[in-house]
Amino acid sequence: MSYVWIKPGEPFPKGKAPVIVDEFTEMFPMWVCRVLITADEETWAKRAAEVATGFATSIIGAPLEAGIEGIVSKDGTPDGRPGVMVQMYHMDRVLLKGQLASRLAQCVLTCPTTAAFDGLPEAKRRAKVGRSIAKFGDGFQVPDSLAGRNVWRIPVMEGEFVIEDSFGMKRAIAGGMFLILASERKAGLKAAEKAIEAIKSVQGVITPFPGGVCRSGSKVGSEKYKLKASTNHPFCPTLRGKIAYSLVPENVSTIYEIVINGLSLKAIGEALGKGIEAALQVPGIVGITSANYGGKLGQYRLSLREALEALK
């Protein structure tokens, strides 16, 4: 793969090879819980996972950040059925516990054939939400053990809903990101889709935005209003020529942001590298960069160069 590195602030060189700006992404710590949803059929596990991770794109405006990590084969689940692993993130572990309980109760308990198990059994901090949800059984719930796990069997009209007694919580990392700069929308969206497809091969990460892609990247604060975040105007193509500090090259009409949360910095780095590599394969991609705030946003930093070189 042929691409050209440039320093931040340098003009994009003219040529056919895409450009990568030698930038870094800055990330911040969040609390995470990880839930394995199983069902008689993978389709129903996916449906429960999709609903349970809804309205969870960014902590800026959503009640948490969440997404589907991947499919788990029946050989890797406690009950020998196909499963889907999901992750949920929040700055506040108490609020995360509340969201976890609500989503398991309203989105998984209600879904045909499903069960819910802890995906972080090694975590020392525990959220005892299973026993709380078990009260839905109105005194008819029964404690049990399954594959070495403490579970509750809750009678429901279909039969039983099985849920683990407690779920692990631990510190993880959120906000890893890169920007795809494209000559036109179709190419940019295709590159974003290819990037998400590649990122899905990495265990331990999620991309919380719709389909993993964000078209409305934000900056911290606002220049005009009292907001926590507002549109990242230096990267808005329609403002090129209207503001003095546009970061959009002349031949770019569309920019998509890929945001990655993960259980470790290593996992995010691998996902970042694979996502960038996949995006660069699509014709019409002008370049790749990242947006940061000089380290003010978070304590973790990862350069795009480092992420790509780690794949070699």
What is the rounded distance in angstroms from the CA atom of residue 71 to the CA atom of residue 73?
A: 7
Q: Is the dihedral of CA 279, 203, 91, 162 positive or negative?
A: positive
Tokens of 269: 């780095």
What is the rounded distance in angstroms from the CA atom of residue 216 to the CA atom of residue 270?
A: 24
Which residue from 115, 150, 145 is spatially nearest to 131, judged by alpha carbons? Answer: 150
Which residue from 167, 171, 36, 163 is spatially nearest to 91, judged by alpha carbons? Answer: 171
**What is the DSSP track for 211-261?**
GG-BSS-EEES-SSS--SEEE-GGG-GGGBTTBTT----TT--EEEEEEEE
Which pLDDT belongs to residue 220? 87
Which pLDDT belongs to residue 5? 96
What φ, ψ does residue 299 adopt, rounded to 5°? -85, -10
Tokens of 292: 């940061």
Which residue from 26, 44, 23, 45 is spatially nearest to 35, judged by alpha carbons? Answer: 45
What is the rounded distance in angstroms from the CA atom of residue 290 to the CA atom of residue 21?
A: 8
Question: Is-contact 58 71, C-beta < 8 A?
Answer: no
Q: Which domains does the chain have, with CATH numbers?
A: 4-27+173-309 (3.30.70.520), 31-170 (3.30.70.520)
* CA separation, residue 22 to residues 218, 290, 305 (Å): 20, 9, 6
Question: Is-contact 198 272, C-beta < 8 A?
Answer: no
What φ, ψ does residue 175 adopt, rounded to 5°? 95, 5
Question: Is-contact 84 49, C-beta < 8 A?
Answer: yes
pLDDT string in tens for the chain (312-residue length)? 689 999 999 999 988 899 999 999 999 999 999 999 999 999 999 999 999 999 999 999 999 999 999 999 999 999 999 999 999 999 999 999 999 999 999 999 999 999 999 999 999 999 999 999 999 999 999 999 999 999 999 999 999 999 999 999 999 999 999 999 999 999 999 999 999 999 999 999 999 999 999 999 999 889 999 999 999 999 999 999 999 899 999 999 999 999 999 999 999 999 999 999 999 999 999 999 999 877 677 889 999 999 999 998
Question: Is-contact 216 231, C-beta < 8 A?
Answer: yes
Entry pTM? 0.96
Tokens of 66: 């969440």
Which pLDDT belongs to residue 180? 98
Which residue from 70, 41, 3 is spatially nearest to 308, judged by alpha carbons? Answer: 3
DSSP 83: E
